[in-house]
């Protein structure tokens, strides 16, 4: 059980929670205007991106995921990879001398006398390719940080979206895909039809795996698959390189294999698999929204925000980045349309503009359609 530690650190103007691209962009802008900060990250810099499969390429062009006006380029003049982007983020932390406290989890946010007491505890460092949100060291003392305002740039991919079927927790089943080599020469059944599942299917196939893809829809959703992957997966399915079971859902993972049920027919069949990848999406943890007393709305549990300032229903607590969307199912909020959040928050806190340009025409929190 954690204990409260005596705090000897000076009060700060702002506590930022989350050191992904938007959290870092906020830190750069606020520090430029002389705002004192404490910046916390439960894992490593760009924690969510660390959890991407190796060599993943971004949907967005380099210009749209660059931050703080600093160009992002690569030798190929093409889409940026996971590794290149993580290196870019590390370089910005060093160039701007950002003091990000990694492996430090915010566990509480309490209003007190017009300010906030932010409780921070060490995280237990997970293996590099573990799920995105590391556990808290419950035996360590909690530091109490005095902050005038709090910004939650916590992302939206904290826990795998469980589908609730027997066998889901079996050792050969995973909700995360990291790299294809481990599946060489083995049979892999992948559940899902959006980008993560399609990319995993193609990469495992080319690494020598026997791949079977199950998807609840009749066809793969074009808007949810990278443009360069869609013709590739269709060709592989057409040629028989990748087996495809459309309009099916898994109902159990058994010793004999994965039991699939037809969405429209109700018929069931069992498909042997050495490994099962349930790539069905991720959920946002509501813990910090609850801790801060922020109202949420809709089936995605999105935080209720003022779209002009990104301030929540708890005065002094702001939300930025993909965190504004709650648990996205049809993704509408990305790095590239979150840059305006930075300008809105910087204006609200300092009354000044960021020292770099942001496109302030993208979707505000309340403009996002339900998924």
Interval 42-66: pLDDT, tens: 999 999 899 888 888 888 889 999 9
Find the DSSP H helices in 112-207.
195-206
Give the DSSP per-residue string, 309-338.
T-BBSSTTEEE-GGGGG-S-SS----STTT
* C-alpha span between 320 and 178 (Å, rounded): 27
List, in order, residues 6 or more apart from 328 with CB less than 8 Å away: 156, 281, 300, 322, 371
Q: Which of 285, 327, 290 is nearest to 109 (CA)?
A: 290
Tokens 């909690």 belong to residue: 142
Cα separations in angstroms, 78 against 63, 73, 179: 11, 8, 21
- Return residue ranges of the chain for CATH 3.50.50.60: 4-159+282-367, 162-278
Tokens 């360069």 belong to residue: 228
pLDDT of residue 363: 38
Residues constituting the chain: 371
Q: Which of 83, 81, 94 is nearest to 24 (CA)?
A: 94
Per CATH, the number for 162-278 is 3.50.50.60
* C-alpha span between 155 and 263 (Å, rounded): 32
pLDDT of residue 7: 58
Domain 4-159+282-367: homologous superfamily in CATH: FAD/NAD(P)-binding domain (3.50.50.60)
User: What stretches in the chain show pLDDT beneath 70?
Assistant: 1-8, 127-132, 329-331, 360-371
Strands (DSSP E) along the chain, which ranges?
4-5, 12-17, 37-40, 100-101, 104-112, 115-122, 142-152, 159-160, 173-174, 187-191, 210-215, 243-246, 248-253, 258-262, 268-271, 275-278, 282-283, 296-297, 302-303, 317-319
pLDDT of residue 13: 98
Residue 19: other Cβ atoms inside 10 A:
27
* C-alpha span between 201 and 242 (Å, rounded): 8
* C-alpha span between 248 and 158 (Å, rounded): 27
Q: What are phi and psi of 331, to 5 degrees?
A: -65, 125
């Amino acid at each position: 059980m954690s204990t409260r530690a005596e705090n000897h650190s000076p009060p700060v103007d702002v506590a930022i929670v989350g050191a992904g691209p938007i959290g870092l962009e906020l830190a750069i802008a606020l520090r430029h205007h002389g705002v004192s900060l404490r910046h916390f990250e439960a894992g490593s810099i760009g924690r969510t991106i660390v959890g991407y499969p190796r060599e993943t390429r971004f949907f967005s062009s380099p210009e749209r995921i660059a931050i703080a006006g600093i160009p992002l380029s690569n030798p190929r003049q093409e889409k940026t990879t996971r590794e290149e982007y993580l290196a870019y983020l590390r370089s910005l932390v060093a160039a701007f001398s950002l003091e990000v406290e990694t492996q430090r989890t915010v566990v509480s946010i309490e209003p007190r006398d017009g300010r906030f007491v932010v409780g921070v505890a060490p995280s237990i460092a997970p293996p590099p390719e573990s799920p995105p949100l590391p556990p808290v060291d419950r035996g360590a003392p909690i530091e109490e940080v005095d902050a005038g305002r709090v910004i939650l740039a916590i992302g939206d991919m904290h826990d795998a979206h469980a589908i609730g079927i027997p066998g889901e927790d079996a050792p050969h089943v995973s909700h995360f895909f990291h790299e294809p080599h481990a599946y060489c020469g083995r049979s892999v059944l992948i559940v899902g039809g959006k980008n993560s599942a399609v990319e995993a299917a193609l990469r495992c196939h080319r690494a020598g795996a026997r791949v079977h893809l199950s998807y609840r829809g009749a066809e793969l959703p074009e808007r949810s698959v990278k443009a360069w992957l869609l013709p590739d997966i269709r060709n592989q399915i057409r040629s028989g390189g990748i087996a495809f079971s459309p309009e099916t859902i898994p109902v159990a993972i058994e010793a004999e294999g994965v039991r699939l049920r037809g969405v429209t027919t109700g018929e069931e069949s069992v498909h042997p698999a050495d490994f099962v990848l349930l790539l069905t999406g991720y959920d946002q943890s509501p813990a910090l929204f609850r801790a801060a007393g922020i109202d949420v709305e809709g089936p995605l549990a999105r935080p209720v925000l003022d779209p002009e300032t990104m301030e929540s229903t708890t005065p002094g607590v702001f939300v930025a980045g993909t965190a504004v969307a709650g648990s996205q199912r049809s993704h509408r909020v990305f790095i590239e349309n979150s840059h305006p959040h930075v300008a809105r928050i910087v204006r609200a806190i300092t009354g000044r503009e960021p020292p770099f340009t942001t496109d302030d025409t993208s979707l505000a929190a309340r403009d996002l359609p339900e998924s």
